[in-house]
Structure 1
Amino acid sequence: MRFLRLTLGLVLVAGLTAAGLVAYNGYASFTQPGPLDATRRVVVEPGMGLEQIAERLAEANVISAPLVFRLGAKLTDQATRLKAGEYEFAPGATMQDVLDQLNTGETVVRRLTIPEGLTSDEVVALIEAAEGLVGEVPEVPAEGALLPETYHYAWGDSRADLVARMRASLQAALEELWIGRAEGLPLETPEQAVVLASIIEKETGVAGERALVASVFINRLNRGMRLQSDPTVVYALTEGTGPLGRALTRADWQIEHPYNTYRIDGLPPGPIANPGRTAIAAALNPEESEYLYFVADGTGGHAFATSLAEHNRNVVNWRRVRDGGQTQ
């Protein structure tokens, strides 16, 4: 009987020692650097359970022992608090690090930059191509309804929600800038300011020129002169679907279209693109000038003129530069 008790005691001690070794090895595995040798992104989809998450992490080589990861999640009371989303894990991240990141929901922040001056068709194309967004854009927004800038989003955000944010950003910027507009502008509504800003945006890519270009159009509007803006003719020809792909011709300037500012008086009926905040600010606070004309100068900017004779000389210079000659 004494021998039996001694034998059972030795077996119990051996079992406890083995369990302790297993626990120790498990803890060491849980806290030691993981197998990742480079940053890696992993998507945890909504509805995934702990076992599915552990298997996905193992398949991505983020962790090496799914069972240890699951036990660690349960023992630390985090098994039911893991959040869906796109995660970026650092090289050598421990299972404890990975679990903490999934528990806090520290997901990847994605960015989508919308350049100034794109049409709504072009903006929607960028949104549809953006990785990580879900759903469809219900309809192409009206021109000038979206504010170009860099937008942050997370994996799984909806395209419709992003478009709504772009609309709200445009309205917020427009309301703010309209309040601080210059006095005496020939613009009756904020919507007209967006129309003019869209033309300014398409006329120059030089930020420092926008207020001066705005002054030309404001001066022409105040004098009852037609705007005669080439980008409005391009929009009339393409309906905003994309670039024209060729130079304008004399015949193009003669087309009967409500957006052809060579043929209509005043502003066209709507924007020709989505202007940025700087262009809207320029339309509402133009520089003071007597300029009525401008043309490209061959350096990326424009040459401005107060008279048609001066403008014609600038046009001759521009054609000379375009054709490989020198300016006078």
Structure 2
Amino acid sequence: MKRFVLAVLLLALVAAGGAAFVAWRDLASFRETPYGDPEEKVVVVPPGASARVVIRTLARGGVLSDERTAWRYFRYVKRDPRAFRSGEYAFAGPLRPDEVLERVFRGDVKLYRFTVPEGLRMEEIAAIVARSGLAAEAAFLEVARDPAVARGLGLPYANLEGFLFPDTYSFPRGASARAIAAAMVARFDTEYAKAEAVRAPGVSLDRGRVATLASIVEKETGREDERPRIACVFHNRLRLGMPLQTDPTVMYATMLRTGRWSRNITRTDLLTPHPYNTYTTAGLPPGPIASAGAAALRAALAPADCKDLYFVSRNDGSHVFCPDLACHNAAVQRWQVEFFRRSAR
């Protein structure tokens, strides 16, 4: 009888050992076998979800090959079930289970990116943010135009115009319009601090007026090498009390006055008084007209050393600079009147 019992126990142990080996082999195979096709799959892990729900969500989302095996594997590796982080995750296979699980443990959520070029207005930036899918255009504009938001972010004006720094940004799904705007203003502050470090001794403009002048410089030229000299022209005009007479401010004034944006400046636009029209109003306008980049900020604070008071476009992106009206008139005759006369033939 004892021999029979011992034999049964031995068989049970062998069977258990065999089952354990098979289970271990299955888990080892599961661990080492990548799964999933190259197409991106987006899985949302809800807040407060249990580890079992997270595993089920990943399996049903096509990221893990088998829910039951995945759950056994999760328990085998003895991870803290509270370690999973909620959020929206993107997976493109084939991926091993550890690659999937570690991503959710770390909270490497899917990010949405957008790029803001230099020289754009709030309305144009809002449209770019909206295309990324992060925030509706109207919601972003509401934040950008809110005096309370501007005040809370430490800005000197009643809106965020000129302080939404041009750059590439990445945010997870659910980022609020205010959080996005605040990050852009923070980037402005970082770049402004760098520009402040090279401020020329004779430049006394405060932060708001620097942002304003930089926005005009940004709109006047796309050439980085010309920005310090164009800034010099405007500094010279400000010092002498001359009107800046810069066309981008006229377009901005017309937009504020009429509600429409146009690059075509009419005689009425030039002659209609407005705080942003630098043909009719002396000094800098009451705020920025666009978001300037780092080079324009540096130029506004560290302009070139020049005696120029005028510049005229060569119609190729570059400009002719002049210290007096005679030189300016000659440049206008050559690069505007004669140039377009030849072009019309």
TM class, shorter-length: 0.7 to 0.9
Residues 26 and 222 of structure 1: is their aligned pair in 2 closer, same or farther, counting only changes over 3 Å?
same
Which residue pairs with 2:121 in the alignment?
119
Q: Is the 8 A contact 1:39 1:89 kept in 2?
A: yes
Q: Is the 8 A contact 1:121 1:241 kept in 2?
A: no
Once the two structures are superposed, residues 48-100 of structure 1 have per-residue CA deviations (whole angstroms, 9 ceiling, x without a partner) of 33333333323443221111112212222223312223444453211122222
Q: Is the 8 A contact 1:146 1:170 kept in 2?
A: yes
Residues 158 and 70 of structure 1: is their aligned pair in 2 closer, same or farther, counting only changes over 3 Å?
farther
How many angstroms does 1:293 deviate by? 1.4
Residues 240 and 171 of structure 1: is their aligned pair in 2 closer, same or farther, counting only changes over 3 Å?
farther
Is the deviation greater in 203-212 or in 130-139? 130-139
Q: Is the 8 A contact 1:82 1:102 kept in 2?
A: yes
How many angstroms does 1:37 deviate by? 3.6
State the TM-score, normalizing by the size of structure 1.
0.85
Aligned partner of residue 275 in structure 2, secondary structure: coil
Which residue pairs with 2:49 in the alignment?
48
Question: Using the alignment, how far apart are the partners of 1:320 and 1:42 within structure 2?
Answer: 63
Aligned residues: 325
Structure 1: any 5+ residue segments left out of the alignment? none
Which residue pairs with 1:247 in the alignment?
264
Question: Using the alignment, how far apart are the partners of 2:227 and 2:211 within structure 1?
Answer: 14
Q: Is the 8 A contact 2:191 2:294 kept in 1?
A: yes
Is the deviation greater in 93-102 or in 47-56? 47-56
Give the letter for the 2:239 counterpart: N
Question: Using the alignment, how far apart are the partners of 2:136 and 2:82 within structure 1?
Answer: 25
Question: Using the alignment, how far apart are the partners of 2:168 and 2:15 within structure 1?
Answer: 63
Question: Using the alignment, how far apart are the partners of 1:176 and 1:46 within structure 2?
Answer: 40
How many angstroms does 1:47 deviate by? 2.9
The answer to whether structure 1 residue 140 and structure 2 residue 107 are counterparts is: no
Residues 278 and 299 of structure 1: is their aligned pair in 2 closer, same or farther, counting only changes over 3 Å?
same
Say which of 299, 303, 321 aligns to 1:304.
Answer: 321
Q: Is the 8 A contact 2:217 2:227 kept in 1?
A: yes
Structure 1 segment 19-58 matched on structure 2, within 5 A: 19-38=20-39, 40-58=41-59
How many angstroms does 1:153 deviate by? 3.0
Question: Using the alignment, how far apart are the partners of 2:163 and 2:190 within structure 1?
Answer: 11
How many angstroms does 1:164 deviate by? 1.5
Aligned partner of residue 292 in structure 2, secondary structure: coil
How many angstroms does 1:167 deviate by? 2.1
Aligned partner of residue 299 in structure 2, secondary structure: helix
Question: Using the alignment, how far apart are the partners of 2:116 and 2:259 within structure 1?
Answer: 15
Residues 197 and 98 of structure 1: is their aligned pair in 2 closer, same or farther, counting only changes over 3 Å?
same
Question: Using the alignment, how far apart are the partners of 1:39 and 1:84 within structure 2?
Answer: 19
Question: Using the alignment, how far apart are the partners of 2:257 and 2:318 within structure 1?
Answer: 24
How many angstroms does 1:4 deviate by? 6.9
Which residue pairs with 1:286 in the alignment?
303
Is the deviation greater in 261-270 or in 82-91? 82-91
Aligned partner of residue 225 in structure 1, secondary structure: coil
Is the deviation greater in 244-253 or in 163-172? 163-172
